[in-house]
Structure 1
Amino acid sequence: MSESIDDERQRIRERKKQELRERLENGESLDAADAGEGVDTPDEPIAITGQGHLDEVVEEYDVVLVDCYADWCGPCQMLEPTIEALAAETDAAVAKVDVDAHQRIAQQLGARGVPTLVLYADGQPVERMVGAQDRGTLEGLIAQHA
């Protein structure tokens, strides 16, 4: 199974390289891409529907903040406005994993408590935090890996 995931990742990378080559050949500016804005990120959190969906999101965007949450979790509810603001105002894509609906994904992400936040950069997990985090800390981590 990991070979097929690796194959898919390689196909996505090759597609992105080809798109950049075509933009250069057409004389389009790559200033946005050079500033870390090559692929527009959604302005709202992405609700993850399964492992394949999470893999696609992590591969599509350079920086992805994954929020493992539960509807019944007080700290998760307190963190929600920050998560929405980060999606709207940073260059990171923000993905949300409901740990009750997707227990296996949460387990693979190392979520032993909620909220658990996992930051991906270039397809790899680079930070994992448990508990509610303040906006400044999260913005700093995103900027550091953008």
Structure 2
Amino acid sequence: MITLTTDNFDEQVLGAGKPVLVDFWAEWCPPCKMIAPVLEEIEAEHGLTIGKLDTDHHPEIQARYGVMSLPTLLLFEDGRPVRQIVGARPKRMLVKELGLA
């Protein structure tokens, strides 16, 4: 997993040249902590690049994409968000919603 910041977001996500799933999360968010190991499994099993953005430390990126609830997952392809998932889900649902199944 990539740790995303305001400084590296554009390069790591928008300029990646491949799909990147961005996990907007915060330390105080229990559902964010619940899906973290699930995202690690998805990354390992499906080869999807996943970046984590701590919204408490990088609120400008959160605001740029209108993220209002945590956790929010945004799938970026070709530098733009193509899919959004709000809230925690079981692994099989996430895989299906991300189009990986």
Length-normalised TM-score, structure 2 = 0.86
Residues 1:93 and 2:56 are matched in the alignment: no
Query: Alpha-carbon deviation of 1:87?
Result: 2.1
CA contact (8 A) 1:70 1:99 kept: yes
Rounded to whole Å, the distance in 2 between the matches of 1:61 and 1:88 is 19
CA displacement, residues 107-129 of structure 1 (integer Å, 9 cap, x when unaligned): 11221011011011222210111
Rounded to whole Å, the distance in 1 between the matches of 2:37 and 2:93 is 15
Residues 1:115 and 2:33 are matched in the alignment: no
Query: Alpha-carbon deviation of 1:61?
Result: 4.1
Which one has more relative contact order, counting CA pairs under 8 Å at least 6 apart?
2
CA contact (8 A) 1:63 1:92 kept: yes
**What residue number does 1:55 align with?**
10
1:110 is paired with a residue whose SS is: coil
1:100 is paired with a residue whose SS is: coil
Gaps of 5+ in 2: none
Q: Which amino acid aligns with 1:48?
A: L
Higher helix share: 1
Rounded to whole Å, the distance in 2 between the matches of 1:109 and 1:135 is 24
Length-normalised TM-score, structure 1 = 0.62
Give the length in aligned residue pairs.
99
Residues 1:80 and 2:36 are matched in the alignment: yes
Gaps of 5+ in 1: 1-44
Rounded to whole Å, the distance in 1 between the matches of 2:20 and 2:94 is 12
2:42 is paired with a residue whose SS is: helix
CA contact (8 A) 1:61 1:93 kept: no
Rounded to whole Å, the distance in 2 between the matches of 1:66 and 1:136 is 18
